[in-house]
Amino acid sequence: MKIILPSLILSILLFIAHAYVLSSIVFLFFVFCLFFFRDPGRISVEPGNVLLSPADGKIMEIGERMEKEFINDTMKRISIFMSPADVHVNRAPCEGRIVRTFHRPGEFALAFRKDIDKDNERNYILIEHHNDRLLLVQIAGFLARRIISYVKEGDHVNRGDRVGMIAFGSRVDIYFPNNYETMVELHQKVKAGITPLAQKKGET
């Protein structure tokens, strides 16, 4: 994001120097950065007991997994693939306290492969929501070479708050308790901070 303004300035200077081809190339790069790093406002009208999608993209997996490292329990997991065309800012699915964050180096395999949650570079964000714990996993992809976290342990987040971003194509997994009912389908397009992802059973 720090390269956006300098690229615009460089484009103007090249134009003044009559280096029109280079100026055009740098300007196109500036426009691309504006598009990729866009961060539109999001407001949800969903009830407070609904978990919202933490990422823009497409649902690529819905299932149950044993999460041993941070929760040590069988959880529901939804995986969201974020293409380079999606907004790459990630948002809190619920209100709560950040219990733990942890960054793990790794590979940069294609983000739509199912096994990259064990091999690729990733960042973990554990959220305590009332008596529940939810885990967000930001996973770098083939083009994504940087995961940025906006939160630290002890922070309080509101539902829909920005918690981080991943640059240039990636994936986000969310683990949540089995007493939540999934509200999305496989291959469905979702938007961070807007699309309802799951709702606690027995609550409306």
Residue by residue, DSSP assigns 137-199 as EEEE-SS---EEE---TT-EE-TT-EEEEESSSEEEEEEE-TTEEE---TT-EE-TTTSEEEE
- Residue 170 among the catalytic residues: yes
Exactly one of 11, 23, 149, 170 is catalytic; name it. Answer: 170
| CB 147, CB 136: distance < 8 Å | no
| CB 54, CB 82: distance < 8 Å | no
Helix (H, G, I), strand (E, B) or coil at 22: helix
Written as six digits, the tokens of 61 are 């997996």
From first CA to last CA, the distance across the chain in angstroms is 40
Only one residue has tokens 């300007």, namely 27
Specify the pairing of strand 96-104 against strand 122-129: antiparallel
Only one residue has tokens 């690529």, namely 60
Catalytic residue ranges = 170
